[in-house]
Structure 1
Amino acid sequence: MSSDFQVGRVALGVRLRELRADAGLNGKGMAERLGWQRSKVSRLENGKQTATADDLDAWALAAGAPGEAADLRSRLRGLESQQRSWRRQLASGHRAVQEKYVAAYRDTSAVRGYEATVVPGLFQTPQYARHLLVHNAELMRSPRDTDEAVRARMNRQQVLHEPGKSFRVLVWEGVLYARFCPREVMAGQLDRLGGVIGASTAATVGGVSLGVVPFSAQLTLSPKHGFWIFDEERVIVETVNTEFQLEAADDVALYGRVWDRLDESAVHGPRAHRLVARARAALHVA
């Protein structure tokens, strides 16, 4: 969790505590009035749990200050759409960002993802990852720590083999043709994707599923940008300059519906493997 997010959550908790105190209630009394466990009141006030909009409405009403509900909701919206500048995150290089993702994936049981332009980091080869990281470092003018960043990204892939985890990933077919690297490197990357699809089809990679949304698919929405859903609780969206973390239930549900629609248009197994093989043959590399 980002430090900005946690600071904001603690500040919201302080405001909740103020409203409770102004109402002349202690924690136990507030919990009884709300019909909650005392522990929930404590977690919210100490910034250890993210309140829902309904929680905040109920809190304001229980504190005898229904007019404060709008302010509390505004504070929550500031938490639910956390914006983290890449420039700031990459100030010391890419390694720290990659290690952050390693921790995020290890703390997650179920992941649904979609990428429209690039092979997901979970399935990248070291050579492909290296070219992407170098290009990004040049664009962002960030320190070069490519070797360390590549190793951290490869470490992230270890989660694919951990028991009890589920990874359901989709890519737009254009990903198979977008070349950020030499033909030989791209050929190796497509071989890797073919192996992932074959392994998941044979059920030798426990919770991994990789599908492709074909150019020819009948779509019910436009395949805009990539996004990742973690445990159906939060969504990560990356833009050129910013990473957004969305935790609002409505946002998570919306991205879940988008993923479902893309999945309806995607192909898996042998059909997906044929698309990868066709892109591989177009490289004319032995």
Structure 2
Amino acid sequence: MSPSSPVSSVQQAQKALGQRLREIRKDRGLTARALATAAGWHESKASRLENGKTPPSDDDIRTYTRLCHAWEQEQDLIATARGIEGMYIEWRRLERSGLKRVQESVLPLFERTNRFLFYQSWVVPGLLQTPEYTRAVLNTAVSLRGAPDDVDDALQVRVDRQQVLHTRPKQFAMLLEEWVLRTVIGDADVMATQLGHLIASTALPSVSLGIIPMGVPRGDAWPTESFTVYDNAQTCVELVSANLTVTQPGEIGDYLRTFSELSNIAVYGAAARKLITKAIDALG
């Protein structure tokens, strides 16, 4: 089972917020046209807001709560709207103030999380990356997206963050597609060192590393976008153009089921190390 479309997660959240606005209006006994007229809006605006077609601004929400005498809901609705806005953040916007800032921004989340589920279909998970592999990944962000070139500072933050691997009671379940092992990031030397580090990482008591072999019958466990689940309470999804944060329990459940299905076709221990060794040998 593949998770629902990441963009649809935002749309569903907007529709849910619109439904709350509709209920506030109906509780006051107003029609959408009457509310729009009282607010001085075009008559279709209330309908667009309530159907999730147009995200409400802070002022829109204040107008709703004022006209519907629902002042006590104002701050909660504004917070919800801002949370939806933060669900889908373009990488260029996120990286505008520097790669170091991006790396630092996730530190509180890593510190408070005890159970991590990582699925990677693109690159080696950051917590298991060698410094030179990370440098190559960050340099790509600078090259492709025009991010500020503070790679050295961002790299140090990323390296320091790897200390969470040795912090009890944290546990890390990681799944990689085999083609991640075969994708040369940096150059052959960088990749060989990275793969050797992966083999060593399988000895860490806090880490469970599974490799999904190429050619294995997939069944319902289709490859998908890379994602991380934090304590079954939040999922962060890596898209080509943006980062998506999912907090709706039903949608998090989709990612948990997908992770479980992918886990069932992965190999672990000696079998995983064998695949990694083959990838090293393929580098020549």
What is the TM-score with the length of structure 1 in the denominator? 0.70
Q: Is 1:175 aligned to 2:174, yes or no?
A: no
214-223 or 125-134: bigger deviation: 214-223
Contact 1:81/1:247 (CA < 8 Å) preserved in 2? no
Instruction: Map 1:216-231 onto structure 2 (within 5 A).
Output: 216-220=215-219, 221-231=221-231
Contact 1:115/1:227 (CA < 8 Å) preserved in 2? yes
Partner of 1:237: 237
Partner of 2:38: none
220-229 or 253-262: bigger deviation: 220-229
Partner of 1:207: 206
Q: Distance in 2 between matches of 1:185 and 1:102?
A: 26
Contact 1:101/1:156 (CA < 8 Å) preserved in 2? no
Q: Is 1:147 aligned to 2:152, yes or no?
A: yes
Secondary structure of the structure 2 residue equivalent to 1:171: strand
One-letter code of the match for 1:282?
Answer: A
Partner of 2:197: 192
Task: Give the 4+ runs in structure 1 shifted more than 4 A.
Answer: 75-78
2:126 pairs, out of 118, 121, 125, with 121
Contact 1:227/1:236 (CA < 8 Å) preserved in 2? yes
Partner of 1:264: 264
How much does 1:252 deviate? 0.4
One-letter code of the match for 2:226?
Answer: G
Partner of 1:251: 251
Q: Is 1:160 aligned to 2:181, yes or no?
A: no
Partner of 2:48: none
How much does 1:159 deviate? 0.5
Query: What's the CA shift string for 1:223-262, capped at 9, x where partnerless?
Result: 1211100100111001122100001111100000000000
Instruction: Map 1:54-133 onto structure 2 (within 5 A).
Output: 79=84, 82-133=87-138
Q: Distance in 2 between matches of 1:115 and 1:130?
A: 18
Q: Distance in 2 between matches of 1:211 and 1:278?
A: 15
Q: Distance in 2 between matches of 1:121 and 1:234?
A: 18
Structure 1 pair 77/223, CA: closer, same or farther in 2 (3 Å)? farther
Contact 1:80/1:247 (CA < 8 Å) preserved in 2? no
Secondary structure of the structure 2 residue equivalent to 1:210: strand
Query: What's the CA shift string for 1:201-235, capped at 9, x where partnerless?
Result: xxxx2321111000132212321211100100111
How much does 1:101 deviate? 2.2
How much does 1:138 deviate? 1.0
Q: Distance in 2 between matches of 1:216 and 1:103?
A: 39
Secondary structure of the structure 2 residue equivalent to 1:167: strand
How much does 1:99 deviate? 1.1
Contact 1:86/1:241 (CA < 8 Å) preserved in 2? yes
Higher relative contact order (CA 8 A, sep 6+): 2
Q: Is 1:276 aligned to 2:276, yes or no?
A: yes
RMSD after superposition: 2.9
Structure 1 pair 270/195, CA: closer, same or farther in 2 (3 Å)? same
Contact 1:112/1:228 (CA < 8 Å) preserved in 2? yes
Q: Distance in 2 between matches of 1:181 and 1:232?
A: 33
How much does 1:92 deviate? 1.7
How much does 1:107 deviate? 1.3
Q: Distance in 2 between matches of 1:233 and 1:114?
A: 16
Unpaired runs of 5+ in structure 1? 24-64, 200-204
